Amino acid sequence: MTLKLLLVENGNVLVELPLSAEAWPQDTLQRELDFFESEFDRFTKLFDALSHKTRLRMVKRLCEQDDNTLGFTDFIKDLGLNPKIVWQNTKKLCASGLMAKSENGKYGFSDSGKAEFLMLSLVLRRFREAIETIEGGERL
């Protein structure tokens, strides 16, 4: 039995991903590795931005806002951070493409930032759980 992850919209399969390396045809695997290599800088910025607890707390705090925006001083006050830490981390989150600064000076998600953050969180957690289940000899 081969486990697969399916992304389906209105009954149409958009993406089908086998969860075992053996189930990937060699040419498909090579294309995916080539794509990952071509997007390496983008992935590095994204994972680097989310690899620090303070930045994760900042993104989480944005998600908690009805309009998904916060001012610089809101991060300081709400999260108990000093201005230098907020400045360094907003800069890194903006460079990653997750966050953007609006004309009114507030920080919010970029056009795709919130979706990327939520999907990445969900997929990584679910994959980890699936792999741990498979390695434990259980079936999903």
**CA nearest to 114, candidates 75, 65, 78, 73:** 65
> The whole model's pTM is what?
0.71
Expressed in angstroms, the distance from the first to the final Cα of the chain is: 11
Which is higher by pLDDT, 82 or 113? 82
| 93 φ, ψ (degrees, to nearest 5) | -65, -35
- Tens-place pLDDT, residues 26-50: 898 899 889 989 989 888 888 899 8
Pairing of strands 69-70, 4-9: unpaired
Q: Please provide the average confidence, as pLDDT, over all residues in the chain.
A: 87
CATH class of 45-114: mainly alpha
Whether residue 78 is predicted with pLDDT greater than 50 in this model: the reply is yes
What count of Cα atoms within 13 Å lies in the side-chain half-sphere of residue 8? 6
